[in-house]
């Protein structure tokens, strides 16, 4: 065995001067849409549209009413148009440099899969049946979605998703740092349950492991497992992990039916996962979580706040993606009570939870300790906080 370390796959990706400038600008535009235009939209609703409706005795009863009232307003039309275009431009801005780097990146991923110098693994399933809800649409406007393969041992979609999310979050106040969710969930668990020491951790819909890797630091010695339906994402993530010296076990599996034995994990997590899944499959996946957890084990799913947890206006804001960002299951997922989802999967109600936790990096450790003691509230989801739901298996 050669002692050569695996090359960091990201170093092969070399956007030109102008491509970099374009990506930087798209990040700025995304931030403008999701922070500034979003604030303008809310102001327009609160200061003008809502009072006018109230004056006529027509104040909407729910978020759908707000959507109907706002649909024709210029503030909403421009906000929506900029958000949609930026989403497209995000992936367009990385595809060409990914194409140029592809051959070399595939070589790196092959090398990583052959040698596993960090002690991780990559297990792909030939003729894997990708769930229709992943393969039949281009989820949040990634051309080719998460699963498409264009050449042998392809990593392209892994690279497009990884570099695309850097563009997407590049100027965002709370999404700049890769792995922010895992870091936050990990530290929250650590502070809240100091005795909780997971031996094996599983991340569902791990993509390339971005929100799995940070657990290695919070829970040293824990074995990390990530599953996903998309082979190119797994190859890419595995190459990154091996280069970073992280032993991570990636496998291509459908989260609805996993091949791990009962009680195999102490911690099961996911992030930005369930809102992309039809409700029937959500139930199956949560039952899998119950089966796979050992007694005393925890599941923590980071997701969008559910409909009942936020105001009608916020529901209008969040549900935008359902029809405008190719995420058809978003509204239905959000309409569910997360506690009821957990109990339907076999967890006890009194062991289930659904609430916000602060973002680790931006909130800071001292304040985090006070949050865990109940002395400070967590910021809103996506604005310095993350919504999580889950349960402990007894």
Partner 1 sequence: MTAQTPATAVKLPRQTRGKRPHFFDDPALDQMMTFLLELTTEVSVMRERLDTVERLLERDGKVTRETIEAYIPDADIEKVRAAWRDAYVKRVFRMHPAG
Instruction: Burial-class residue 344 by CB neighbours within 10 Å (0-12, 13-18, 19+).
Output: middle
328 belongs to the binding site for ligand SAM (CB under 6 A): no
Q: Does 127 bind partner 1 (CB under 8 A)?
A: no
Q: Judged by CB under 8 A, which stretch of 70-78, 180-188, 218-226, 333-341 contacts partner 1? A: 70-78
C-alpha distances in Å from residue 166, one per residue of 10, 90, 93, 163: 12, 9, 11, 5
Q: What minimum distance in Å lies between the beta carbon of 281 and partner 1?
A: 20
Residue 50, contacted partner among ligand SAM, partner 1, none, CB below 5-8 A by kind = none
Residues 274-303 vs partner 1: string with x where CB under 8 A?
------------------------------
To ligand SAM, the closest distance from the beta carbon of 157 in angstroms equals 9
CB-facing half-sphere around the CA of 290: CA atoms within 13 A: 17
Q: Minimum CB separation from ligand SAM for residue 31, in Å?
A: 19
3-state secondary structure of 361: helix
Task: Give CA–CA dist 320/265, Å, rounded.
Answer: 35
Measured CA to CA, the distance from residue 7 to residue 265 in angstroms comes to: 31
Question: How many residues contact ligand SAM, by CB under 6 A?
Answer: 22
Neighbour tally for 156: CB within 10 Å = 22
Binding partner of 146, given partner 1, ligand SAM, none, CB within 5-8 angstroms per partner class: ligand SAM
Which part of the chain contacts ligand SAM (CB under 6 A), choosing from 43-51, 64-72, 223-231, 384-392? 223-231
DSSP letter (8 states) at residue 351: G
Q: Does 329 bind partner 1 (CB under 8 A)?
A: no
Q: Assess 68 for contact with partner 1 (CB under 8 A).
A: no
| H/E element, 287 | helix 279-292
Structure tokens at 162: 């990884």
* Cα distance between residue 267 and residue 22, in whole Å: 40
Tokens of 311: 């105001």
Supply the Cα-derived Rg of the chain in whole angstroms.
21
Integer Cα distance of 237 and 226 in angstroms: 9
List C-alpha distances in Å: 124 to 109, 178, 183: 13, 25, 27
Min separation Cβ 272 and ligand SAM, Å: 4
The CB-side HSE value for 390 (13 A sphere, CA atoms) comes to 23
**By CB under 8 A, what part of segment 135-194 binds partner 1?**
137-138, 141-144, 148-152, 154, 156, 160, 171
CB of 156 to ligand SAM, least distance (A): 14
> In this structure, are strands 200-204 and 352-358 parallel, antiparallel, or unpaired?
unpaired
Q: How many C-alpha atoms does 353 have within 13 Å on its Cβ side? A: 15
The answer to whether 132 contacts partner 1 (rule: CB under 8 A) is no
Site for ligand SAM in 144-163 (CB under 6 A): 146
**Closest residue to ligand SAM, Cβ-based?**
205
User: Per rule CB under 8 A, is residue 17 in the interface with partner 1?
Assistant: yes
Q: Select 332 or 351, whichever has its Cβ closest to ligand SAM.
A: 332
CA 67, CA 9: separation in Å to the nearest integer?
A: 43
Judged by CB under 8 A, the chain residues 31 through 50 that form the site for partner 1 are 32, 36-37, 40, 44, 47-48
Residue whose CB is less far from partner 1, 13 or 78: 78
Q: CB 253 → ligand SAM: shortest distance, Å?
A: 6
Residue numbers of the site for partner 1 (CB under 8 A)?
Answer: 16-18, 21-22, 24-26, 28-29, 32, 36-37, 40, 44, 47-48, 73-78, 80-82, 84-86, 88-89, 92, 95, 98-99, 102-103, 106, 137-138, 141-144, 148-152, 154, 156, 160, 171, 323-324, 326
Residues contributing to the site for ligand SAM (CB under 6 A): 131, 134, 146, 181, 205-207, 210-211, 227-230, 233, 254-256, 271-273, 276-277
């Amino acid at each position: 065995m050669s002692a050569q370390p695996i090359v960091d796959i990201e170093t092969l990706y070399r956007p030109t001067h102008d491509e970099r400038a374009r990506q930087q600008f798209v990040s700025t535009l995304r931030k403008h849409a999701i922070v500034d235009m979003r604030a303008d939209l809310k102001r327009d609703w609160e200061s003008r549209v809502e009072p006018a409706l109230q004056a006529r005795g027509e104040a909407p009863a729910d978020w759908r009413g707000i959507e109907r009232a706002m649909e024709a307003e210029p503030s909403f039309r421009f906000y929506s148009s900029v958000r949609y275009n930026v989403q497209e431009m995000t992936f367009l801005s990385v595809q060409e440099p990914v194409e140029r780097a592809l051959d070399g990146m595939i070589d790196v991923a092959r090398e990583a899969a052959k040698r596993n110098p960090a002690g991780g693994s990559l297990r792909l399933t030939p003729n894997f049946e990708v769930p229709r809800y992943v393969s039949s649409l281009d989820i949040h406007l990634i051309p080719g979605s998460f699963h498409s393969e264009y050449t042998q041992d392809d990593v392209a979609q892994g690279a497009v998703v990884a570099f695309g999310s850097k563009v997407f979050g590049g100027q965002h106040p709370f999404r700049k740092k890769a792995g922010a969710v895992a870091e936050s969930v990990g530290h929250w668990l650590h502070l809240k349950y100091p005795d909780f020491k997971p031996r094996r951790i599983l991340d569902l819909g791990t993509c390339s492991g971005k929100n799995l890797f940070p657990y290695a630091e919070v829970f040293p010695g824990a074995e990390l497992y990530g599953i996903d339906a998309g082979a190119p994402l797994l190859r890419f993530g595995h190459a990154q992990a091996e280069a970073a010296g992280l032993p991570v076990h990636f496998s291509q599996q459908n989260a609805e039916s996993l091949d791990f034995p009962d009680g195999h994990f102490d911690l099961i997590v996911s992030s930005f996962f369930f809102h992309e899944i039809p409700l029937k499959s959500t139930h199956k996946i949560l039952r899998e979580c119950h089966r796979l957890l050992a007694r005393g084990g925890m599941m923590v799913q980071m997701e969008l706040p559910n409909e009942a947890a936020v105001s009608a206006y916020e529901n209008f804001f969040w549900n935008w993606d359902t029809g405008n960002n190719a995420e058809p299951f978003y509204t239905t997922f959000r309409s569910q009570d997360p506690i009821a989802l957990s109990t339907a999967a076999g967890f006890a109600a009194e062991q289930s939870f659904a609430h916000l936790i602060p973002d680790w990096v931006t909130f800071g450790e001292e304040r985090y300790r006070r949050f865990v003691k109940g002395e400070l509230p967590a910021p809103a989801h996506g604005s310095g906080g993350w919504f999580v739901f889950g349960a402990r298996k007894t």
